[in-house]
Chain A
Amino acid sequence: MSEEAKAPGGRTPLRLAVLGSALLAVAGAGAFYDATLQRGTRAGSGADGAYRVAITASACEPNVLSVPAGRRAFAIDNRSDRPVEWEILQGVMVVEERENIVPGLSQTVTARLAPGDYEMTCGLLSNPRGRLHVTATEASAAAAVAPTLKAFIGPLSEYKVFLGLQGAELLRRARQLAAAIEAGDLAKARTLYQPARLPYERIAASAARFADLQDAIDPAAAYLARREQDPAFTGFHRLEYGLFGDGAAEGAAPLVPVAERLVADLSTLNERLRALTLTPADLADDAARLAGQLASARIPAGEDRYAGGDLADLEAGLAGIGKIVGLLEPLVRTTAPAVADELKSREAVAEAAVRRLHGPDGFPSYDKVGADDRRALAAAFQALAESLKKLNPAMGLA
């Protein structure tokens, strides 16, 4: 964990990929197949060792993997011809995920895994899921509850208040958007679209845990087999496509059921968020994951293809991360003031990097944001992600 956190972004995956390829070449395909079914194949060794998973056009290879409990690294090779995402799921909950893995490249995903059975998503959302068995170890059996649990009850409660308030606001705004669409007032719906998205982005660190809902609420056409024509293209971006993209030619009618479904899904999301039990380590883990995802996928590629509202989304996502930073920073400061200082300064840098692009008329459409600006944004968010990853170890939670 600490090794990876210190490594500059991008270097570790490449090194692992090279090591992994070498190992594969030596081991041979038969041995590889055998080993993966038994206990997974490790590329490299020690704390940096990663389990290799290749994503093909139709599945993961291997599609069944067994690893010991603890912090584990997975080297994900995209052997399909499209950018893909890879996730570890427990039931409908996302444990860890990596988006926008480019064809031909490898990325490393690190997850802290408790013993149990998990699933892996493998590329397209329609592909069958792989299975991941996590076996118990001496360390996982001995892992005790964090000694300062009491200190986290207040911050965890406060974060749940935040989720509750933002979730309620999200539902209120989505209902307004749906009402405008049902009334056939697309001009009004266009003004309501971006505001309705913002609370969702603010709670993204937690909402992203519910894989089924995320796939219904926020799927990008790029991840679907038939893209915009795919029946699974639902949620916000489907509305965005119908309000701002080529879908606008078809008028309001096709959007009415999409908006209704979105409101229903957001309502379910609120129920799940209320029932969600967060552990102390979840706060920093979720924030770090979101910051890393924004840096590695959202910022380089953009997501709001039709309306271009990525910068407003980004600012809202950062506000959600900021809520967690504000809650954890005082706790970290007592044990590791240097980590707390770095966190606050990197948060400020990321805020400034977004704010810098704000003009007198608001944020520009994301297609107007050039490669240099995107690189600067990505660097700021990646630095913030690395800083967030240091929080749990600094609080004795890793």
Chain B
Amino acid sequence: MKLNRLLAGSALALAVGLPGLAAAKVEPSLELVQPLADYKIYISEKLQKLVDDTTAFTAAIEAGELDKAKALYAPTRASYEAVEPVAELFGDLDAAIDARADDFEKREKDPNFTGFHRLEYGLWEKDSTKGLAPVADKLLADVTELQGRVVDLPLPPEKVVGGAADLMNEVAASKISGEEDRYSHSDLWDFQANVDGAEKIFELVEPLVAKDDPAFVQRVSANFKTVDDTLAKYRAGQGFELYDKLSESDRTVLSAAVNTLAEDLATLRGKLGLN
């Protein structure tokens, strides 16, 4: 998971970052302070929701309520997916909370395979809550720990601004293909959450880049709208249809918009003097 993402990120940085370096060097501005403060509030609210939702989700598992647990899985992890630029600052917790079986030598059998996807595996593949209580406990402890670590953490501006592109790379690498939530097929929830997280970052810094590059802002906004509109076709109830329902033509539309977004957003750091 990590390696994929890193490679995708570096390739993009190389592809689109170099021409930017040739341009005049931009210095970071104190105008970034308030957007970054607003982002911290956004993150704090999402983390509170993550802890609250995880409390309910894990309680359902421990009570053996299989259907309820299945219903709560996707909405619970959406908060995590939205705050990944910050969550991924903590490698240990990210691995414990969100690693996929591919990240482990013995895959699903690996004792270190924990967190959301381990629970997903149990709930859907085994169709049971049996034996999941310790994993659920650990997940709740880990997301609570994450919230605690973020409380007093000054966010590194380059990580936050760079996070917009990272989120879109993440979508490109694992959500478009449907491999993230391979047992539950709830990938579109994660997809939307990643996009929301990237869109939030973009909106907060948009006024700072709009004056110098209105065409850029227009293009990014249009691509976000394409993604949001396309995903909206698959809304069902409180969330989304299963990933299998995604049509080939919509997948193509999403893929193009997401890749363009990833490339465009990768230039944000340079535009804001954060390289």
* A157 CB contact (under 8 Å) in B37, B44, B274: B37
- Report A128-177 residues with CB < 8 Å from chain B CB: 145, 149-150, 153-158, 160-161, 164
CB distance from B225 to the nearest CB of A (A): 28
- Report B19-34 residues with CB < 8 Å from chain A CB: 27-30, 32-34
CB distance from B47 to the nearest CB of A (A): 13
For residue A278, CB closer than 8 A to chain B, the reply is yes
For residue B152, CB closer than 8 A to chain A, the reply is yes
CA of A326 to CA of B152, assembled, Å: 9
* A153 CB contact (under 8 Å) in B36, B41, B44, B153: B36
In the complex, chain A residues whose CB is within 8 Å of the CB of B32 = 153, 157
For residue A277, CB closer than 8 A to chain B, the reply is yes
CA of A149 to CA of B30, assembled, Å: 8
Whether A327 contacts B154 by the Cβ 8 Å rule is yes
Main secondary structure of the interface of B (DSSP, over half): helix
For residue A279, CB closer than 8 A to chain B, the reply is yes
Q: A157-B36, A161-B40 are in contact. Are A149 and B27 (CB under 8 A)?
A: yes
CB distance from B273 to the nearest CB of A (A): 7
For residue B156, CB closer than 8 A to chain A, the reply is yes
Q: A149-B27, A277-B30 are in contact. Are A154 and B273 (CB under 8 A)?
A: no
Whether B28 contacts A150 by the Cβ 8 Å rule is yes
Whether B30 contacts A158 by the Cβ 8 Å rule is no
Contact with B along A266-287 (1 / 0, CB 8 A): 0000000010011100000000
In the complex, chain A residues whose CB is within 8 Å of the CB of B156 = 154
In the complex, chain B residues whose CB is within 8 Å of the CB of A158 = 37, 40, 152-155
Whether B33 contacts A160 by the Cβ 8 Å rule is yes
What is the size category of the interface that chain B forms with chain A? 20 to 34
CB distance from A277 to the nearest CB of B (A): 6
Whether B30 contacts A156 by the Cβ 8 Å rule is yes
In the complex, chain A residues whose CB is within 8 Å of the CB of B158 = 150
Closest to A331 in B: B154
For residue B157, CB closer than 8 A to chain A, the reply is yes
Whether A154 contacts B274 by the Cβ 8 Å rule is no
* A278 CB contact (under 8 Å) in B33, B36, B154: B33
Closest to A280 in B: B30
Chain A residue total in the interface (Cβ 8 A): 18
CA of A274 to CA of B27, assembled, Å: 24
Contact with A along B76-108 (1 / 0, CB 8 A): 000000000000000000000000000000000
Q: Which among B44, B154, B156, B158 has the greatest number of chain A C-beta atoms within 10 A?
A: B154
CA of A279 to CA of B33, assembled, Å: 10
Whether B34 contacts A150 by the Cβ 8 Å rule is no
Closest to B36 in A: A157
Q: Which among B41, B153, B157, B274 has the greatest number of chain A C-beta atoms within 10 A?
A: B157
Q: A150-B28, A161-B41, A278-B33 are in contact. Are A155 and B273 (CB under 8 A)?
A: no
Closest to A150 in B: B28
Q: Which among A155, A158, A164 has the greatest number of chain B C-beta atoms within 10 A?
A: A158
* B40 CB contact (under 8 Å) in A145, A157, A327: A157
CB distance from B34 to the nearest CB of A (A): 7
CB distance from B238 to the nearest CB of A (A): 29
Whether A154 contacts B30 by the Cβ 8 Å rule is no
Whether A150 contacts B33 by the Cβ 8 Å rule is no
* B157 CB contact (under 8 Å) in A150, A160, A161, A277: A150
* B28 CB contact (under 8 Å) in A153, A160, A161, A164: A153
Whether B274 contacts A150 by the Cβ 8 Å rule is yes
Whether B37 contacts A164 by the Cβ 8 Å rule is yes
CB distance from B26 to the nearest CB of A (A): 11
A-B residue pairs, 6 tightest by C-beta: A154-B154, A157-B36, A160-B37, A158-B154, A157-B37, A150-B28
16 A-B Cβ contacts within 8 A? A145-B27, A149-B28, A149-B29, A150-B157, A153-B28, A155-B154, A157-B32, A157-B39, A157-B40, A157-B154, A157-B155, A160-B34, A161-B40, A161-B41, A161-B44, A277-B30
| Interface residue ranges, B against A (CB under 8 Å) | 27-30, 32-34, 36-37, 39-41, 44, 152-158, 273-274
| Interface residue ranges, A against B (CB under 8 Å) | 145, 149-150, 153-158, 160-161, 164, 274, 277-279, 326-327
